Amino acid sequence: MHHSRLLRRLLRKGRCQFWRRNQKAAILQLPLDILVLITDNLALHDKFLLSHTCKALRQVLLQEWDIELPQLSFEHQIGFWVGLAYTLPSRWVCLKCCKLHPIDTSDVPAAFMLIKYGAVRTVPCSLESSRGIEVEQYSVQHYHIQLALKLSRLGNVYQQYLAALMQTFTHTRTKYSLTPPLTEFYAAEPRIINRRFILREEWKISNNTNTALPLFPDQLGCSIPVCPHMRITMGGLVGSRNWKESSINVIVHWCNIMSPHEGSILLKEVTLLEDSIELAYESPGQWIFNSCLHCSTDLAVMISTDERKATIRAWHDFGIEGSPLDASWKAHVRDENRANWLYVGPYVDYTHGSIRELWSEHVSHGTGTSHAKLRSIFTKLIDGWSEV
């Protein structure tokens, strides 16, 4: 309706003659009414870009951007800026201020914690929207992923920055306060596969003595955050499971937020990592595979045959270029605004094991003496329902 009125106004004011005089580009050779029908079907960011190509198209679109953009909902404003950023190599979309920020080539996942707390510079708008995992000073933000995907797609700009974004990160430390001392190794390796951002993480806990003692003692004091839904929260396996169980009991019996049946199912979901490690102890030297129900994350665990080394690997699929409001991205991010930390969000529909297999087709991730798979997670949950 808006463009129909505009077309009539253009014709009445004689701008049709101006149009005919400027038909140099192929698109300008179209009849004005046909061009208006085409532009009516464009996304708002495409209209914005088209209106800045020449005076003739500016006359066709004739939109007051300073007035129209603030009137959009937050979601539509983010969508507008995401559309613009797709074409701009040096800009990324900020979820907090709903604007575009310029690239800072010092801002990479390995330096994010220094940047966040001001050691290097202040993050624009004090942005804190990580994937929910910040391990050993390594944290992948949505804009890191989007810049990497975009620069990989373009292939001719900021390639050194792209290499820095995609650099493998490793960190090793030894906890001498424990008996025996345990060495903790962490590695994060990002890859772009089929235009998707895939991240493989690895944790190794090693006992370098000749005595086989627990690799996950209660006093370990570190978190293994595979994803927001699968993590060891209190160090040891028993302590982590007990803390989650007691927290759910409080929610069920004191807060009345969920039923005992729902609490039992939730406990099974949030202890998948503990279950996987315990099964790996039952089959030393074998990989135990599992997957998250609430984000696109595959998991593998192996305990060495001498039980002095534990290896945990996770493969995350952060998807294709898109908005920080996309459900596929938000599934990887813990919602810090929720008082209930056990809120796990909706189920995610993807083929469990497919991310690990996709990675394996491109990069070898090591071998074990043999492999074992958990029963289907959904079968496990159904079994759990029948036991309640």
In this predicted structure, what is the pLDDT of residue 161? 96
Give the residue-averaged pLDDT of 296-304: 96
In this predicted structure, what is the pLDDT of residue 123? 55
Using pLDDT thresholds of 50, 70 and 90, give the confidence band for residue 8: very low
Same domain, 208 and 336: yes
81 or 217, greater pLDDT: 81
Q: Quick one: 218 exposed, middle or buried, by C-beta within 10 A (0-12, 13-18, 19+)? A: middle
In this predicted structure, what is the pLDDT of residue 327? 87
**pTM tops 0.75:** yes
Report DSSP state, residue 374: P
Same domain, 198 and 315: yes
Per residue in 25-37, pLDDT tens?
777 777 877 888 8
Using pLDDT thresholds of 50, 70 and 90, give the confidence band for residue 318: very high
Q: pLDDT at residue 329 above 70?
A: yes
Same domain, 146 and 36: no
Same domain, 203 and 299: yes
Q: pLDDT at residue 213 above 70?
A: yes
Per residue in 277-299, pLDDT tens?
999 999 999 999 999 999 999 99
Q: pLDDT at residue 370 above 50?
A: no
Same domain, 131 and 196: no
> Domain end: 160, 193, 209, which one?
160
Same domain, 137 and 244: no
CA distance 381 to 347: 13
Question: Residue 75 falls within a domain, yes or no?
Answer: no
Task: Give φ, ψ of 78 to 5 degrees.
Answer: -60, -45
Question: Residue 74 falls within a domain, yes or no?
Answer: no
CA distance 161 to 165: 6
Cis peptide before 190 (omega within 30 of 0): no
158 or 221, greater pLDDT: 158
Q: pLDDT at residue 153 above 90?
A: yes
In this predicted structure, what is the pLDDT of residue 293? 93
Checking DSSP bridges between strand 297-303 and strand 286-291, what pairing results, if any?
Answer: antiparallel
**Portion of the chain with pLDDT greater than 90, in percent:** 34
* Average confidence score pLDDT of the chain: 79
In this predicted structure, what is the pLDDT of residue 122? 53
In this predicted structure, what is the pLDDT of residue 381? 38
In this predicted structure, what is the pLDDT of residue 67? 81
Using pLDDT thresholds of 50, 70 and 90, give the confidence band for residue 250: confident
Give the residue-averaged pLDDT of 352-381: 60
In this predicted structure, what is the pLDDT of residue 5? 46
Contacts of 112 (CB under 8 A, 6+ apart): 123, 130, 134, 137, 138, 139, 141, 144
Highest mean pLDDT: which of 67-71, 86-90, 181-185, 297-301? 297-301
Same domain, 202 and 329: yes
254 or 8, greater pLDDT: 254
Domain count, the chain: 3
Answer for the pair 190, 164: CB distance below 8 angstroms, yes or no: no
Same domain, 176 and 47: no
Give the residue-averaged pLDDT of 300-326: 94
Range of the domain at 122: 81-160
Same domain, 155 and 175: no
Same domain, 185 and 144: no
Same domain, 326 and 212: yes
Instruction: Specify the amino acid at residue 84.
Output: L
Same domain, 153 and 31: no
- Per-position b or e across 100-123, b if 16+ CB within 10 A of its CB: ebebeeebbbbbbbebbeeeeeeb
56 or 145, greater pLDDT: 145
Report DSSP state, residue 130: B
Question: Residue 32 falls within a domain, yes or no?
Answer: yes
